[in-house]
Chains A and B, each alone.
Chain A
Amino acid sequence: MTEDIDARFSRRKFIQGIVAAGTVASSSAYLFRSATVHGQPQAGAVERLVTLRVNGQDRRVDLMPQDTLAMVLRYKLGLTGTKLGCDRAECGACTVLIDDVPHYSCSVLAHRARGKNIVTIEGLADPASGKLHAVQQGVVDEQGFQCAFCMSGFVMATVGYLKTNPNPTRQELAHGISGNLCRCQDYDKILTAMMRGAELSRG
């Protein structure tokens, strides 16, 4: 499945796709509806109604080849908890889990996430009871974060890191989530909250 996607969406074909699709392709990018809303589909249009598995649900979505996962989550699936801080893989605010591994969703093409299990901040709490995930509870317990624009990214990065190292030292966790930036420079308190989350995760 993965190889199949990689073959069909090579860099070359990706660029060709954009050229072929022209303005029709662009006219539905970033919108959470199909292209037909803005007029009749034109010949040559690249329409790809695909299924993404997000937070345990299969979501049908109209993807353009150039759509990043972050844009699709935010503008086509209504999952705005994933934030765009820099849109260029610097700040980590857009971090989501893809098959349990933290990724900068601004720098992942949505097509590359087909067939994989995507988890965003909205998918962490128990859907039935609303019970917070241990890392979320750690934030509540320690009042981690100030403006919190970076929070979803930090929480997702921590959840992903704890899957590989459930019992980290403070230094290990700091290194593990060093791909996330907090402009309020609240790192010490964030680490305290994340360590509390790690502790709660272990039960």
Chain B
Amino acid sequence: MTNKLIGQNYTTPDLVAKVTGQAKYAEDYRVDGMLFCKLLLSPYPHARVKRIDASRALAIPGVKGILTADELPAPADVVTDLGQRLAANTKGEKALTDEPVYQGEPVLALAAVDELTASDAIEKIEIEWEPLPFAVDPLVSLRPDGPNARLEGNIWGRPKPPVQGQPVAPPAIEELKWTAADFAEYDQGRLPMGKTPDEWTYGDVDAGFRTAALVLDETFVTPNTSHQTLEPRSAMAYWQNGKLYIHCSTQSTVQTVGSVARWLHLDQKDIVLISAYTGGGFGSKATGTISSIIPALLSKKLNAPVMMRIDRETEHYIGGARPAMHGRLKVGFAKDGRITAIDMFVVNENGPYEPVGDTAQSGRQVSLLFQPPAMRWRGVSVLTNTPPRRAQSQPGGMQGITLIEPIIAKASRKLGVDQVAIHRINAPEGQAKFGPANPRGERAFATSSFIKQALDRGAEQFRWNERKAMGGKRQGSKVRGYGVATSSFVAGSTGYDGLFVIKPDGRM
């Protein structure tokens, strides 16, 4: 395999189909009698639907029917790759809801003979709303009198310890507020550091700071970054001989079959999922998109194929975004640039639904990339009435890197240590350990790491020494700066993607 591909010219099997327009993405399929559905989106960041009157919409010729939240199958338990059963999280994201928790959240779906009729009909639906308190800024929500994003609170509580023979209980939503005294630092431009539900430490952090030649304490905020896949997450579905045929856009067909089976309470063998090409995912389409069950349910209800074309505006709302992270890092450096200790504190903007993994990953990735001999990490992910947050290329690590790299650059200037050199002296090597020890006292480790070699080769190819001399100098209307950063990526999960064909003669 390696001899055939690596170092050789070849044409990937999808390329000619793509460049001739023959490649079919989800919205490119057509079925006879296909209806079109449109979504009614919440105009409020948090509200309760008190009454729906769809009579005027349903009276329009060509309108075939609607689907509301109460017609959805109940959230089902999750069985992990390891066979562990996780009890359904009833507070997680749904395809449709009668308590929208972000502006633009789908509330109901309507199908008609064409999209224009569906759009017209959506405007004729009358909804009586009860607006509810909302929070779009995690720090506002943490204030003593701050609003909560959810009726039950503003953070996900820690998971309860598993009980033998029972499904693992989902985390509960709890309330966390900091004191006015905690917030005193906010007005000085520093991230307040109240109590957090999660914390870990390894090494002697205090000693690390005592022996440091330079200690920097900086606050940064990373932005929410929308995925904006160029292909919106459109889906088309129909039923045939008891099986669901669903055309959708996903990064992993096998994980999405599992999701669709769970969302619709179907056996996986009764799902034919077609996703031959995907127009970008960046993490937001890894396990499918829950709204893709809407055309499946409407199709069953109306006995006709249903196309749900997601337009760009709807994609803005439902497509997801990498969560913004508010971070404060105190970093100690020796004279040669070697880090002596890191104290990292993060407040993550969680969005309204499932806890995102970015919060915890931020600390582990900083620990991996800079190998501090001592580190403390504290973090909280605060629920917000903002569009759902989803993993995006290097989830958590990207924010951690964005938070620490300006501090590394500043230390480089203050200590007079070159930026490549300061990354090199702190870089992981070999089976580098990172993060906190587990209950058995073992720390996770990389199987190998060649960051030092990568920095050397990168500096050479970039002509680092030559180009950094040009940094900060005005050339015409521009001043260019030069900098160095390292990154890592967490990958690997159980599963498979692809197709094995075993021929009648037994050959693959």
Contact = CB atoms under 8 A, between A and B. Distances in A.
Nearest to B17: A148
A134 B52 CA distance: 56
Contacts of B25: 80, 83, 149
| Majority secondary structure, B binding face | loop
Contacts of B165: none
Nearest to B23: A148
A164 interface: no
B330 to A, nearest CB: 34
B470 interface: no
A32 interface: yes
Contact of A151 (B18, B117, B232, B311): B18
Q: Which interface class (under 10, 10 to 19, 20 to 34, 35 or more) fits B?
A: 35 or more
B16 to A, nearest CB: 7
Contacts of B21: 79-82, 120-122, 152
Contact of A143 (B15, B230, B279, B280): B15
Given A81-B21, A82-B21, A27 B62 contact: yes
A140 B230 contact: no
Contact of A183 (B23, B30, B229): B229
A31 interface: yes
A27 B114 contact: yes
Interface string B294-310: 00000000000000000
Contacts of B279: 83, 147-149
A93 B116 CA distance: 22
B20 A122 contact: yes
Nearest to B12: A143
A149 B327 CA distance: 36
Nearest to B278: A147
Nearest to A183: B230
A109 to B, nearest CB: 14
A45 interface: no
Interface in B95-133: 113-117, 120
A79 B115 CA distance: 18
Interface in A158-198: 181-184
B22 interface: yes
Nearest to A182: B230
B24 A149 contact: no
Nearest to B36: A30
Contacts of B175: none
The 7 closest A-B pairs by CB, nearest first: A81-B21, A149-B279, A121-B21, A80-B28, A26-B116, A148-B18, A149-B230
5 contacts: A26-B62, A30-B114, A81-B23, A148-B18, A149-B229
Given A79-B21, A145-B18, 14 more contacts: A23-B117, A23-B120, A30-B115, A85-B231, A122-B20, A132-B16, A140-B15, A140-B16, A143-B15, A147-B279, A148-B18, A151-B18, A183-B228, A183-B229
